């Protein structure tokens, strides 16, 4: 039987040092016996060598730290470049767009334009990382908490408009940029009082306070006016609810009040086109009472509403002109707002057109930056994914098919929202029998959604639950295209980050918290100090103002829960 002994006993050697003895001691469990007869000189030499090693190591560390500190100022490889001179920053948000929205849109685009299988979207070439999106009180964020992460760089609760979890206001990057001398802008396709744009220019404790958001946006808030150019929808919260297209409960007309802040107000496609090459800032362009129609519908009424791409081009030109003689450039937030709404409706046909419209707007930004002489950067991300979209769907218990059908989406000429709106207005104007209604719906679905084989069960469902019809109609398309959805709300999947300049946005390569995107914006603009000042000033104004009216009361859990269920209802497009 082989003995364990040889493994534990070190063979005597001429260099039998103490380390070896100690190692043996660890293995054998025996205390090492020191030899007092060992050379004293050898001991001293060892101590000296050890001390020298210690000093040399410390010196190397100190030198390395000093060197790194110095080079980080001069070599951009370390942290990415923060330009020192005049610069422009374009921050783009694709609200509710997750990675699957891109697979869906690529497949659709390749199908309808007969493009090769490796054809990608413009933005695919600009991918640099992705972002984790949870909020302070939920693994699934809403747009308000998502945009607060971008504007303030803080996680907050769902429903928070640039306030922290303790309900106190946090300075936004746009307010700080304005203070630092930048010219600022907001371009959206939803209501300008909706959560994403609201977070850049207002502070309220729940996103439902859209009347107050409009008030702060035009300059009646604690900090005055912080945005110079506004293009989008949402006249509703600027006009009293006693006038057409108005919904303000306090009867105030902010469009008239806007004069007090020198706003140049435009509200129609004609006004927009007439802006021409000379745009007078501040500009307030509100082209719809609430949302600008989905792109799939808007393209049929192009003479009524500008597209996101057109608004983007106008905004960039106006901001460039306004800053041509100033030391500071501009900061603009441009949002593809309604990708999210198509997701809430689970409407894949509406979604692919929204994503393509966003992609065109991004290409317009890239072209602008390439041609412009001023240093500039575009950074883009989403606040969250909406719908839990899947580009495959199992329809029966058999082994699933590996496919989905983009051709079904291609045959739809309108959104489910628009189609349902036509159905609602039909119901309100005519009393027909179920048989007549069935015929009407068969034609309606064929004309707008391009579906010729609607089933009696689907017709029955539309007749029995008209209020659910935007969802029922989307489902008719989703099923046939084998598109899957897991929710009418948001999901927790990571979302992509894009940039026009990989190098300058090096800090955002890889996987990040959404708050790091917010930190990047203030870092690039070099307004970190201004953010602190603005936060301080907001808190001071909160203390001295009686009643804290501009921030609103602390919302209860029930109120916050109600916000989400209201925003998710199938009638959300019908307010």
Q: Binding site residues for Zn(2+), as ranges?
A: 95, 340, 383-384, 490
Q: Which does 408 bind (CB under 5 to 8 A by kind): Zn ion, ligand NAG, none?
A: ligand NAG
Report the distance separating Cα 469 and Cα 62, nearest Å: 69
Cα 261 from chain centre:
29
To ligand NAG, the closest distance from the beta carbon of 104 in angstroms equals 15
To ligand NAG, the closest distance from the beta carbon of 242 in angstroms equals 5
Enter the DSSP assignment of 498.
Answer: E
Q: Which tokens sit at 307?
A: 């597209």
Q: Is 481 an active-site residue?
A: no
Q: Which tokens sit at 229?
A: 């150019």
To Zn ion, the closest distance from the beta carbon of 386 in angstroms equals 7
Residue number with CB closer to ligand NAG (227 or 408): 408
Q: Which does 405 bind (CB under 5 to 8 A by kind): ligand NAG, Zn ion, none?
A: ligand NAG
Report the distance separating Cα 441 and Cα 57, nearest Å: 81
Report the distance separating Cα 231 and Cα 189, nearest Å: 8
Q: Is 383 an interacting residue with respect to Zn ion (CB under 5 A)?
A: yes
Residue number with CB closer to ligand NAG (57 or 453): 453
Residue number with CB closer to ligand NAG (353 or 384): 353
Counted residue by residue, the chain has a size of 575
To ligand NAG, the closest distance from the beta carbon of 446 in angstroms equals 9
Could you tell me if 329 and 323 are in contact, meaning their C-beta atoms sit under 8 angstroms apart?
yes
Q: Which does 143 bind (CB under 5 to 8 A by kind): ligand NAG, Zn ion, none?
A: Zn ion
Residues that bind ligand NAG (CB under 6 A): 241-242, 249, 405, 407-408, 411, 450
- Which of 204, 261, 207, 270 lies closest to 230, judged by CA? 261
- Cβ neighbourhood burial of 71 (10 Å; 0-12, 13-18, 19+): exposed
Phi and psi at 230, nearest 5°, equal: -130, 125
Could you tell me if 131 and 494 are in contact, meaning their C-beta atoms sit under 8 angstroms apart?
yes
Residue that the structure tokens 């002489």 belong to: 373
CB atoms within 10 A of CB 115: 12
Residue number with CB closer to ligand NAG (404 or 550): 404
Could you tell me if 189 and 305 are in contact, meaning their C-beta atoms sit under 8 angstroms apart?
no
Could you tell me if 449 and 416 are in contact, meaning their C-beta atoms sit under 8 angstroms apart?
yes
Looking at 212, 340, 347, 564, which residue binds Zn ion (CB under 5 A)?
340
To ligand NAG, the closest distance from the beta carbon of 241 in angstroms equals 4
**Range 126-145, binding Zn ion (CB under 5 A):** 143
Question: What are the binding residues for Mg(2+)?
Answer: 95, 194, 196, 335, 344
Q: Which does 340 bind (CB under 5 to 8 A by kind): ligand NAG, Zn ion, none?
A: Zn ion
- Which of 497, 96, 569 lies closest to 294, judged by CA? 96
Report the distance separating Cα 480 and Cα 403, nearest Å: 11
Q: Which does 241 bind (CB under 5 to 8 A by kind): Zn ion, ligand NAG, none?
A: ligand NAG
Q: Which tokens sit at 167?
A: 């309900």
Question: What are the binding residues?
Answer: 95, 194, 196, 335, 340, 344, 383-384, 490
Report the distance separating Cα 470 and Cα 456, nearest Å: 18
Q: Which does 500 bind (CB under 5 to 8 A by kind): Zn ion, ligand NAG, none?
A: none
Q: Which tokens sit at 411?
A: 């045959």
To Zn ion, the closest distance from the beta carbon of 382 in angstroms equals 8
Residue number with CB closer to ligand NAG (109 or 411): 411
DSSP string, 529-567: HHHHHHHHHHHHHHHHSGGGTTT-PPPPHHHHHHHHHHH
Report the distance separating Cα 428 and Cα 422, nearest Å: 10
**Which residue among the candidates 101, 131, 135, 143 is catalytic per the annotation?**
143
To ligand NAG, the closest distance from the beta carbon of 292 in angstroms equals 23
Q: Which does 95 bind (CB under 5 to 8 A by kind): ligand NAG, Zn ion, none?
A: Zn ion
Looking at 95, 194, 297, 494, which residue binds Zn ion (CB under 5 A)?
95
Residue number with CB closer to Zn ion (143 or 411): 143
Residue nearest to Zn ion (CB): 143
Residue number with CB closer to ligand NAG (246 or 376): 246
Question: Which residues does the annotation mark as catalytic?
Answer: 143
Residues in contact with Zn ion by CB under 5 A are 95, 143, 340, 383
């Amino acid at each position: 039987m082989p003995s364990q002994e040889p493994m534990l006993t070190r063979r005597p050697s001429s260099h039998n040092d103490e380390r070896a003895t100690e190692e043996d001691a660890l293995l054998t469990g025996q205390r090492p016996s020191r030899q007092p007869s060992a050379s004293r000189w050898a001991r001293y030499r060892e101590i000296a060598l050890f001390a020298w090693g210690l000093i040399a190591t410390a010196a190397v560390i100190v030198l390395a730290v000093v060197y790194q500190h110095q080079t980080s100022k001069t070599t951009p490889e370390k942290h990415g470049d923060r330009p020192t001179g005049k610069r422009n920053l374009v921050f783009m948000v694709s609200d509710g767009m997750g990675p699957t929205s891109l697979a869906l849109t690529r497949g659709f685009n390749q199908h309808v334009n007969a493009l090769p299988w490796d054809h990608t979207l413009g933005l695919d070439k600009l991918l640099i990382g992705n972002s984790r999106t949870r909020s302070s009180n939920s693994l699934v964020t809403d747009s308000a908490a998502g945009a607060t992460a971008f504007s303030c760089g803080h996680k907050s609760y769902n429903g928070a408009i640039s306030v922290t979890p303790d309900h106190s206001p946090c300075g936004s990057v746009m307010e700080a940029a304005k203070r630092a001398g930048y010219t600022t802008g907001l371009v959206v396709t939803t209501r300008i009082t909706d959560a994403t744009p609201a977070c850049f220019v207002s502070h309220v404790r729940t996103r439902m306070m859209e009347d107050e958001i409009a008030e702060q946006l035009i300059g009646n808030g604690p900090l005055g006016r912080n945005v110079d150019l506004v293009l989008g929808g949402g006249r509703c919260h600027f006009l009293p609810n006693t006038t057409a297209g108005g919904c303000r409960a306090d009867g105030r007309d902010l469009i008239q009040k806007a004069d007090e802040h020198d706003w140049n107000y435009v509200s129609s496609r004609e006004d927009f086109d007439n802006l021409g090459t000379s745009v007078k800032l501040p500009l307030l362009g509100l082209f719809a009472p609430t949302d600008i129609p989905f792109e799939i519908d808007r393209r049929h009424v192009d003479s009524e509403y500008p597209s996101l791409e057109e608004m983007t081009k106008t905004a960039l030109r106006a901001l460039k002109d306004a800053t041509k003689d100033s030391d500071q450039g501009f900061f603009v937030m441009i949002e593809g707002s309604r990708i999210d709404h198509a997701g809430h409706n689970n409407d894949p046909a509406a979604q692919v057109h929204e994503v393509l419209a966003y992609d065109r707007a991004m290409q317009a930004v890239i072209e602008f930056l390439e041609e412009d002489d001023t240093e500039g950067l575009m950074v883009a991300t989403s606040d969250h994914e909406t719908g839990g979209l899947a580009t495959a769907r199992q329809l029966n218990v058999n082994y699933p098919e590996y496919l989905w059908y983009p051709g079904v989406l291609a045959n739809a000429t309108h959104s489910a929202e628009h189609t349902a709106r036509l159905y609602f207005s039909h119901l309100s104007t005519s009393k027909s029998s179920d048989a007549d209604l069935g015929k009407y719906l068969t034609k309606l679905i064929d004309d707008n959604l391009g579906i010729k084989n609607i089933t009696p069960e689907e017709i029955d469902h539309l007749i029995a639950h008209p209020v659910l019809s935007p969802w029922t109609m989307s489902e008719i398309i989703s099923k046939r295209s084998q598109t899957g959805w897991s929710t009418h709300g948001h999901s927790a999947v990571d979302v992509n980050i894009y940039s026009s300049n990989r190098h300058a946005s090096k800090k955002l390569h890889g996987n990040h918290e959404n708050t790091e995107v917010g930190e990047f914006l203030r870092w690039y603009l070099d307004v970190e100090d201004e953010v602190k000042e603005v936060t301080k000033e907001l808190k001071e104004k909160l203390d001295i103002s009686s009643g804290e009216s501009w921030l609103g009361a602390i919302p209860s859990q029930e109120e916050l829960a109600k916000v989400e269920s209201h925003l998710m209802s199938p009638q959300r497009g019908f307010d």
